[in-house]
Amino acid sequence: MKGLFRIVLLLTALSTLASCGGSSHGGATSASTTVGSTAPSHTTRDTTPIFPEVTPMESFETYQNPLLDYRDENAWEGYGFGDPFVMRFNGIYYLYVSTLDGQVGIRCWSSPDLVNWSYEGYCATDERTRGAYAPEVYYYNGFFYMYTSPAGNGHYVLKSSSPTEGFEVITDNMGMSIDGSVFIDNDGSWYFYTAGSGAIRVYDMDSPSSMGTERIVSSASVNGGWTEGSMVVYHDGYYYMTYTGNHVLSPSYRILYGVSDSSPTKFKAMPEHNPLLINTSEDVLGIGHSSTVKGPDLDSYYIVYHALLDLKPNRTMNIDRIVFNGERMEVIGPTVTPQQVPDLPDVYRNFTLESSLEGWTLTGSLGSADNGLCLGADSLLVSEHTFEGDFTAEYNLTSVSPSATAGAVFAYTDPQNFGACLFSPALGQVIIELTEKGVTTQTAVDTVRSFGEATRFDCVQSLQIERKGGDYTFYMNDRLLCTLTSEGLKGGAIGYMTRGGEATLGFIGGTAAVGGYGGADAYKTVSSIGGFIPAYENTEGLPTLTLEQGQRAVLAEEGDILSYRILPSEGGSYDLAALCYGDEASEVTLEVYVDGRLAGSCDLSAVIGRPMTAIIRSLTLPQGPCILSLRLAKGSLRVESLTVRSSAEVSELGSPVYTDGGWTVSDTSLSVDGPSFCGKILYGSPNWGDYEVELTVTPKDLPSCDLLVRVTNPGNPAFLGQTPDPVGGIYWMEGYSVELTPERLILAKQSYGREEVAGIDMSFSADTSYVLKVVCRGAEIGVYLDGELMLTYTDPEPFMQGMVGMRSQFCSAEFSGLSVRPCP
């Protein structure tokens, strides 16, 4: 992460069924939807477009999922890398995966950067690790604690002084289902989460190896069924829980999340933003059981998860980038094409592994130690690299002598101007000092302790510091300590300091980013299955704009530009959807540029206070790195996020591309036999955009005969060739359904669940034919019955592409005349 081009605010999209598409310019089609917002009075200024330069592909490194799979010589044969858990400790990443059923021992890997992994061998060999499921490891006060469930039969806790060897069982079987996971809160409290039927369970922990009170995390549930693979992280005032459900060998295995701003035991689900990760196509499927870890740049976050290889038990290990936006959590993925590797910090040194002081300035002396570079008493070691503004830094000390006060230095410019965050073993406190123009203010905070135990200083303890504006936020072992304000300390070097005794140093790193913006300048992969881009993630090289609360990018004045580095997986036609907001009605015109060339534009009419999505179809993008830019030509608007996915032309239906349930096919129709039968059948491409689809449906009995549009990721509870269970998978899709029921015509939005968004009371009869037509144009959907417009709905966050098809819900029906064509 280098510079960060920061920004603010958003807009709203509104389309009409009377128009679809628009005039083309440079191979791009104008917006299908319209959005607008207030146009403030502007002062005259130069509005000549300025765009960042494209970085050649060969100038940056890429990686491609899967990172690890069955071809790795150390993978479990026929099993792969299931339930991957990654722990970060002292600047190094450690990977642990489930053990093949019937086999003994837990294998582990290490990596300096999340991408390049080295096999470390067996870290545990106890007989009780036979078929060890989902091992997770946590460091505390000099020891590593492992939690695993052998073949799903209860849990054991193992303990070691090393992350890669010597784990020994220290408990009896504690029971509690599978997939045990630990979270340590800011106050040092420990919580243990396990899988459960209907919800995740959570236990208060009385020690690293004993459990207390059990509770149910009621909102953490996958369709009210079996829910597993949970993990909790804390970021910027919110607790986020990821979890997984249905069956590990189903293509519809998926990752969801919940959020809380108050407690790691009470979460609310995010139905409008779930699933967090899913894909049921051949490219990548069976996504699930994830862990979340801080990236190498110390500011970004990554999700590590497994996926299936062709519905076989072999599982791969994949990683994709997470972005946080208030209570929203998003993943830039899933990806299966090359993407830019995670950024390393601007300052990067692991004194545990090397003793070179090149690039550092030492004032004082060095001592001697076996476990890292030892800084002598009353000494200072600072980096030659300096930070001019916001930054995130981490400091690891492998030991601090009892007589010392030692730890982190930040914003260091000279002995009269710097900050320090120091461990005091004698006091059991963290001492924070802000020295400005030779005047020092001091704040003492108790160290983060668990179970009433004292903090040990003969082992690794870490400090993290974030500067944002004039605020400095301090953490110990990633647990929040406090926030202090200093307007005087605005930049400088980072390093270590000792007073009165020695300290041994480990990893230290620093990045010119804070608040989760690390890697904002990296190229984001866009493809047929994914292309999410948070709007605030702009490239460097343009004047800095302000970032509004909620991380929305504001285009406030004519000529304002938002630019994004993207990496199309292949050259061709792409659709862009921009989630926007507006303040007041006004005219707004948005232009889209590709590598500085105008590729399309759209006129947007704002709706006060409402979010809406502007969709621009058929942008022509090259293969490989390019710059996508949004330029405000008129008005003002606020953009929260973009989605860019390759598009496909609407064509003849051809053969079904997905089916579950028992369909009878004749020359003129399809039918299902009931009345208890369910099933869905789909045609076309998941990358179809705007179209009209028509169908004649003749219910033989009711309750519901459905026309499906813009469907992606269909699924059902079947796995590994077993008989599908369409009853359980009625709503297992992303898209929209038009439902013809005995007393109501309904339009519903579905994302592995169902939400009615529009409806009208009316009667329908068995053995009577009805003609349904749906027009999907931008963010608006219109439903016609026998040629008459009955329902309209403008979706603030629409599904922008998808297949067409039919579904029956507990009924017999005949479907005929299914046809689809582009919007006229």
Asked if residue 609 has pLDDT above 90, the reply is no
Q: Taking the CB of residue 240, how many other CB atoms lie within 10 A of it?
A: 24
Which residues touch 700 (CB under 8 Å, ≥6 apart)? 674, 766, 767, 811, 812, 813, 814
Instruction: Calculate mean pLDDT across residues 380-395.
Output: 96
The confidence score (pLDDT) of residue 806 equals 93
Q: Are 275 and 752 in contact (CB under 8 A)?
A: yes
Whether the per-residue pLDDT at 719 is higher than 50: the answer is yes
* Cα 338 off chain centre by: 18
With contact defined as beta carbons under 8 Å apart, do 482 and 429 qualify? no
3-class SS of residue 1: coil
Contact 509, 347 (CB under 8 A): yes
Average pLDDT score over residue span 753-779:
94
Residue 816's pLDDT is 92
Q: Give the range among 37-41, 157-161, 289-293 with minimum mean pLDDT.
A: 37-41
Look at residue 583 in the predicted model and tell me its pLDDT.
64
d(CA 450, CA 447): 10
**Does position 2 have pLDDT exceeding 80, yes or no?**
no
Q: What is the pLDDT of residue 29?
A: 32
pLDDT number for residue 117:
97
Q: Which helix (H) or strand (E) holds 663?
A: strand 663-665
DSSP 734-796: EEEEEEEETTEEEEEEEESSEEEEEEEE----TT--EEEEEEEETTEEEEEETTEEEEEEE-S
Q: How remote is the C-alpha of 428 from its chain's centroid?
A: 37
Q: Indicate the pLDDT class of residue 26, thresholds 50, 70 and 90.
A: very low
Residue 22 has pLDDT above 50, yes or no: no
The strands making up 663-665's β-sheet, listed across from edge to edge, are: 663-665, 669-672, 813-821, 691-699, 770-777, 780-785, 788-794
What is the per-residue pLDDT across 572-600, written as a single tens digit (0 to 9) for each? 999 999 988 876 667 788 899 999 999 98
Write down the residue that tokens 């359980």 correspond to: 728
**What is the SS3 assignment for 89?**
strand
Predicted confidence at residue 601, as pLDDT, reads 85
**pLDDT mean over 435-446:** 96
- What is the C-alpha to C-alpha distance for residues 577 and 630, in angstroms, rounded to an integer? 12
3-class state of residue 677 by DSSP: coil
CB neighbour class for 775 (10 Å; exposed up to 12, middle 13-18, buried from 19): buried
Task: Calculate the CA 100 to chain-centre distance.
Answer: 28
Percentage of the chain modeled with pLDDT above 70: 90
pLDDT in tens, 769-815: 999 999 999 999 999 999 999 999 999 999 999 999 999 888 888 89
**Residues of the chain by 3-state class (helix, strand, coil), percent to 5:** 0, 55, 45
- Three-class SS of residue 241? strand
Nearest CA to 287 out of 115, 528, 77, 83 is that of 83
pLDDT over 70 at 668, yes or no: no
Residue identified by tokens 């979706």 is 795
What pLDDT does 94 receive? 98
What is the C-alpha separation between 272 and 750, in angstroms, rounded?
Answer: 10
At residue 357, the pLDDT reads 94
Q: How big is the chain, counted in residues? A: 824
Q: Is the pLDDT of residue 725 over 80?
A: no
User: Using one digit for the tens of pLDDT, what is the confidence trace for 449-477?
Assistant: 999 999 999 999 999 999 998 999 999 99
Here the tokens at position 117 are 């992994």
3-class DSSP state of 59: helix
DSSP string, 425-457: TTTTEEEEEEEETTEEEEEEEEPP-STTPPPPS
